[in-house]
Amino acid sequence: MAQAYDLTIKEFNACEETWCPGCGDFGVNGALKRAMVNLELSPEQIVLVTGIGCSSKISDYFKSYTFHTIHGRPLPVASAIKIANPDLNVIVATGDGDGYAIGMGHFIHAIRRNVNITMIVMNNQVYGLTKGQFSPTAARGFESGTSPDGSEEDPIDGPALALAAGASFVARSFSADMKGSIATFEAAIRHRGFSVVDDLSPCVTFNKVNTYAWFRQNIRKLEEEDYEPTDRTRALELVLNSEKIPVGILYQDDSPPDTYEERVLKDLTKAPVWENLDPKGWEYARIMDEFR
Amino acid sequence: MITNDLAVMIGGRAGDGSLVTGEILAKVFRDMGLEVFTIRDFPSNIRGLPTSYTIRTKDRSIMARKDHPDILLAIDEEALRLHGDELPPDGVVIYDSSSGEGPPDFEREDVHVYQVPLKSITVDNLGGARAEIFKNVVSLGVLAHLLSVDVAIIKEAIEKEFSRKGEEIVQKNFQALDLGAQYADENLAKTDPYVLERRDKQDSLLILGDDAIAYGALAAGLRFYAGYPITPATEILEWLAAHMPEYNGVVVQAEDEISAVTMCLGASYAGLRSMTGTSGPGADLMVEAISMSGMAELPLVIIHGQRGGPSTGLPTKVEQADLKHVLFASHGDFPRIVLAPGTIEEGFYLTAKALNLAERFQLPVIVLTDQALCQNKQTIPPFDLSQIEVDRGKLLNDPIEALQSPNGGNFHRYALVEDGVSPRPIPSIPGGLHEASSIEHDEMGYTTEDPELRKAMMAKRMRKLETARPELPGPVLHGDPSADLVFLSFGYPTGAIWEAMERLKEDGIPTKYVQLRTLWPFPAEEVGDLLADAREILVVEHNYSGQLAALLPTLLGKVLPTTSVTRYDGLLMTPGEIVAAAKEVA
Ligand SMILES: Cc1ncc(C[n+]2csc(CCOP(=O)(O)OP(=O)(O)O)c2C)c(N)n1
Ligand code: SF4
């Protein structure tokens, strides 16, 4: 019988954070822990997979099974974990460099597969850990160590790409809006399919343009509007054309779930990781007839 | 008369059906109780460029290419132009004479040329626009008659091959075969010396190296394979895609090799036996993840099937020029194991072993092989499945047993244990919480830059190599132990060396062969002992620079007298050229 859930967010605390005071990543960590409590998940049931960056350090600060991988690769790692053991709640926490620059290839293909995992991109529009170079989400003209005269490249928009690639859940949150972030993370984790949340989490040290104050002036909250996130085209239109940055659930596919692991495993209750691999229990000899 | 010892080369063009014809012929020889060894020499092209498929057969086990083809089925003129000179005196050409002219520019008097209007026979009798594709089978009929092979055996093989394409196709092939045999019977007088005699059929497998590797992995509990198509490893991906689902395993065709290899690490972390396979270009992309496997101490098995390099190189040809890559690629100091199967059978058993080693010692294991082993077929005895064991080492995957985490904190996943191998709980195990990390970490996996801890962790990881060493497949000594002329090699040249040694022995030159099966950690002591009395060491390898020969002094810690025997034109070494190299220093 299931035990009564009595965990608090304290049970999700791990090492003390070493982010700069005021860093947007604090908000993500706090909201993620709260979402887990609200979802009544225990640390053992969760795997948090990160890449490399300030944001990815969250795997030191969030107590669960965690895997701090290499720069840009948390998505394939996480996808395989979920396929191997679909009972796990697998979360990818990544940065805009990790997720949208070096890891961009995996982003699109993870969406195509639609493995039931949640990707949270802590988007600060800079490379924080390497001390402030422009990232793929930095605006044209953004001045940084590697763009002293302003970036010559146009930014990309993660949610727009995700929508175009067919993601079944796409949202944007603002790390200073704790309530909104918690609700969005919860919905993303609950969604059965690949979910992506682009979290606006300011870098207070290296991004003096996209500050908390800047975001407060430049976002609009969808929860305060009459917006139904069930139309992909409308969501895309909103993301591409809205003057202010829309924050909230942009799109959620409400058709029956069709995840990769359901397609390839056939029986989700038989996670491959629990198989006893002792060859005596398996029929392998018959295969030799193919070569006879 | 030459009985039961010949090599038939089918020279055709990519996509013209000569491959299937070769496959059928290989099965026919096998069904006659003979041993078979095939070589596909094909271009990186789907249709149109010249290919050759050579089927060698003999009444005892063969592992090498014959020095020359004996019989050339020249499906077109180009095949004759390319390969006519390779034939030995008394060799045979079966040539399509439909054009009414004899073979152009072919002036060899010492070979037996059988002219058969293959195309006309086919088109006149089988009709239809696509009739020409039966040309190959007509030539099989001719060959059957010349070698006195029972047509019924060929029909059986044809039936097996084509039955899924429908009865009509089977019947057309039968007809083509009979036409060929009949033509030969009525028009050709046999002048060549080759005959085949049926023997008692042995229980043997006619198997592709890649299939053996994939099968070995499956039998050893592989349940996750991720790969990106690349010659010569694609067949592993395809074979597993067809077989794994039945065993509740998963095969993912990843978007690139970085994804494939990192998926394997994810699956490994979650508790599945995982593996990927690739060739040089893909292996280059996997390099960063190999280092992560070393640091995060997660099992990883990579099948590295070498092909001709550098860069895209000779993508469908044999080479062994990635030796330095597999030994040294990736940054930082970390333990790794590199194994090298010398035969298709070893491909099966060593891959199974690799999965155990990777899990027991929680590190990357690379199985270094090559295009020839991967993509050649040969007959071998059935596999002995009782030899396959699954040893998952210190994996903690019992969902019932709660683990004790010291001080109520995280589990000490990277505990600084004596043998270097720390217990590894998989996600969801109660009490097993930890961070798996590519960053230097403490015992729980949390990031640290503490100098003392760093040193301790580095030493712990590297200790695993010493723990593993006694379990690694040692070098094998073949031949005359007292010989002072010694071959040293790894991988597929093994078969050619064996055959060369036999011939040298017949010529009164005793030799021995030290076959390396573990390349890293290098078994310096054992190899040093085996080479100690060598007057000359012939280091045989398929690459330009003699990579093994060049590394040998470093690997052994001493300089020994060596001669490099290399080949890097994309073709498989023959026993003959090894004999010649040996005679030069004998
Ligand atoms: C292969 C590789 N290239 C470069 C780096 C250096 N590097 C570490 S983090 C990082 C950028 C991180 O940016 P982002 O993902 O946006 O995370 P943030 O630090 O801003 O949270 C880079 C370039 C690396 N670790 N690995
Ligand atoms: S550098 Fe920026 S992203 Fe990194 S911890 Fe500091 S504020 Fe956060």
- Cross-chain residue pair B271–A287, CB shorter than 8 Å: no
Closest ligand 1 atom to residue A52 Cα is 9
Share of chain B above pLDDT 70, in %: 99
pLDDT digits (tens, 9 = 90+) for B239-266: 999 999 999 999 999 999 999 999 999 9
Q: What is the arithmetic mean of pLDDT over B41-63?
A: 88
- What is the pLDDT of chain B when averaged over all its residues? 95
Q: Between β-strands B35-41 and A245-252, what pairing exists: parallel, antiparallel or unpaired?
A: unpaired
How far is Cα B22 from Cα A216, in angstroms, rounded to an integer? Answer: 72
Identify the H or E element spanning B208: strand B205-208
What percent of the residues of chain B are helix, what percent strand, and what percent coil, each to the nearest 5?
40, 20, 40
Give A23 Cα–ligand 2 centroid separation in angstroms: 5
Q: What is the arithmetic mean of pLDDT over A13-24?
A: 97
Q: What is the arithmetic mean of pLDDT over A31-60?
A: 98
Tallying the residues shown for chain B, one arrives at 586
Coil, helix or strand at residue A287: helix
Give A219 Cα–ligand 2 centroid separation in angstroms: 21
At residue A59, the pLDDT reads 98
Share of chain B above pLDDT 90, in %: 86
Residues of A in contact with B258 (CB under 8 A): 73, 76, 105-106
Of the pLDDT bands very low, low, confident and very high (cuts 50, 70, 90), residue A278 is: very high
Of the pLDDT bands very low, low, confident and very high (cuts 50, 70, 90), residue B407 is: low
- Cross-chain residue pair A105–B255, CB shorter than 8 Å: yes
Closest alpha carbon to B394 in B439, B352, B432 = B432
pLDDT digits (tens, 9 = 90+) for B226-240: 999 999 999 999 999
pLDDT digits (tens, 9 = 90+) for B336-368: 999 999 999 999 999 999 999 999 999 999 999
A204 CB near ligand 2 (under 6 Å): yes
Q: What is the arithmetic mean of pLDDT over B79-91?
A: 93
Of the pLDDT bands very low, low, confident and very high (cuts 50, 70, 90), residue A99 is: very high
b vs e for B223-248, b when ≥16 Cβ sit within 10 Å of the residue's Cβ? bbbbbbebbbbbbbbbbbbebbeebb
A10 CA: distance to closest CA in chain B (Å): 13
Chain B nearest-CA residue for A45: B428
pLDDT at B26 over 50: yes
A97 CB near ligand 1 (under 6 Å): yes
ipTM score above 0.95: yes
pLDDT digits (tens, 9 = 90+) for B104-126: 778 889 999 999 999 899 989 98
Give A26 Cα–ligand 2 centroid separation in angstroms: 10
Tallying the residues shown for chain A, one arrives at 292
**Could you give the count of Cα atoms lying within 13 Å of A234 in the half-sphere of its Cβ?**
10
Coil, helix or strand at residue B366: strand
- Cross-chain residue pair A43–B226, CB shorter than 8 Å: no
SS3 of B400-449: CCCCCCHHHCCCCCCCCCCCCCCCEECCCCCCCCCEEECCCECCCCCECC
Residue nearest to atom 13 of ligand 1 (CA): A127
Share of chain A above pLDDT 70, in %: 99
> Do B179 and B186 form a contact (C-beta atoms < 8 A)?
no
Residue nearest to atom 1 of ligand 2 (CA): A128
pLDDT at B409 over 80: no
Residue B18 neighbours by CB under 8 Å, 6+ apart = B10, B11, B12, B51, B52, B53, B73, B75, B136
Residues of A in contact with B436 (CB under 8 A): 66-68
B486 CA: distance to closest CA in chain A (Å): 36
Q: Which residues between 358 and 377 in chain B have a beta carbon less than 8 angstroms from any beta carbon of chain A?
A: none
Closest alpha carbon to B4 in B29, B38, B39 = B29
Residue A211's Cα: distance from chain center in Å?
22
In this complex, which of B385, B397, B436 lies closest to A67 when CB atoms are compared? B436
Domains delineated in chain B: 2-195 (3.40.920.10), 206-387 (3.40.50.970), 395-470 (no CATH), 476-585 (3.40.50.920)
Which ligand has the shortest distance to the CA of A18? 2
Give the lowest-confidence range in A107-121, B78-92, B337-351: B78-92
SS3 of B289-356: HHHHHHHHCCCEEEEEEECECCCCCECCCCCCCCHHHHHHCCCCCCCCEEECCCCHHHHHHHHHHHHH
At residue B15, the pLDDT reads 79
Residue B352's Cα: distance from chain center in Å?
15
Q: Between residues A108 and B407, which one has the greater pLDDT? A: A108
Of the pLDDT bands very low, low, confident and very high (cuts 50, 70, 90), residue B293 is: very high
A33 CB near ligand 1 (under 6 Å): no
Please give the interface size between A and B, counted as residue pairs whose CB atoms are below 8 Å apart.
184
Chain A nearest-CA residue for B395: A273
The residue whose CB lies within 8 Å of the most ligand 2 atoms, and thus the one to mutate among A124, A130, A211, is A124
At residue A2, the pLDDT reads 58
Class of domain A9-267: alpha beta
Closest ligand 2 atom to residue A131 Cα is 1
The residue whose CB lies within 8 Å of the most ligand 1 atoms, and thus the one to mutate among A71, A146, A199, is A71
Give B381 Cα–ligand 1 centroid separation in angstroms: 52
Q: For tokens 């039955």, name the residue.
A: B163
How far is Cα B432 from Cα A88, in angstroms, rounded to an integer? Answer: 14
Q: For tokens 């003390």, name the residue.
A: A16
The residue whose CB lies within 8 Å of the most ligand 2 atoms, and thus the one to mutate among A16, A17, A18, A19, is A19
B563 touches chain A (CB under 8 A): no
Q: How far is CA A40 from CA A70, A173, B126, B219, B499, in A?
A: 30, 22, 72, 40, 68
> Do B49 and B43 form a contact (C-beta atoms < 8 A)?
yes
At residue A1, the pLDDT reads 46
pLDDT digits (tens, 9 = 90+) for A150-206: 999 999 999 999 999 999 999 999 999 999 999 999 999 999 999 999 999 999 999
A98 CB near ligand 1 (under 6 Å): yes
DSSP A13: B
How far is Cα A112 from Cα B15, in angstroms, rounded to an integer? Answer: 33
> Do B216 and B243 form a contact (C-beta atoms < 8 A)?
no
Residue B58's Cα: distance from chain center in Å?
21
Strand-by-strand arrangement of the B224-227 sheet: B250-253, B224-227, B274-278, B300-306, B364-370, B337-339, B518-520
A121 CB near ligand 2 (under 6 Å): no
- Cross-chain residue pair A77–B263, CB shorter than 8 Å: yes
CA torsion sign for B558, B559, B560, B562 is: positive
pLDDT digits (tens, 9 = 90+) for B381-398: 999 999 999 999 999 998
Instruction: Judge residue A245's burial from the number of C-beta atoms within 10 Å of its C-beta, 0-12 exposed, 13-18 middle, 19 or more buried.
Output: middle
Query: End-to-end distance of chain B based on CA atoms, in angstroms?
Result: 32
Share of chain A above pLDDT 90, in %: 97
The residue whose CB lies within 8 Å of the most ligand 1 atoms, and thus the one to mutate among A127, A133, A175, is A127
A23 CB near ligand 1 (under 6 Å): no
In this complex, which of A52, A64, A264 lies closest to B433 when CB atoms are compared? A64
Residues of A in contact with B385 (CB under 8 A): 279, 284-285
Residues of A in contact with B269 (CB under 8 A): 67, 77, 81
Among B265, B435, B439, B448, which would you mutate to test the A interface (most chain A Cβ atoms within 10 Å of its Cβ)? B435
> Do A169 and A232 form a contact (C-beta atoms < 8 A)?
no
Closest alpha carbon to A26 in A191, A194, A214, A212 = A212
Closest alpha carbon to B522 in B493, B488, B498, B494 = B488
Give B266 Cα–ligand 1 centroid separation in angstroms: 20
A141-144 LR contacts (CB < 8 Å, sep 24+): A142/A209, A144/A206
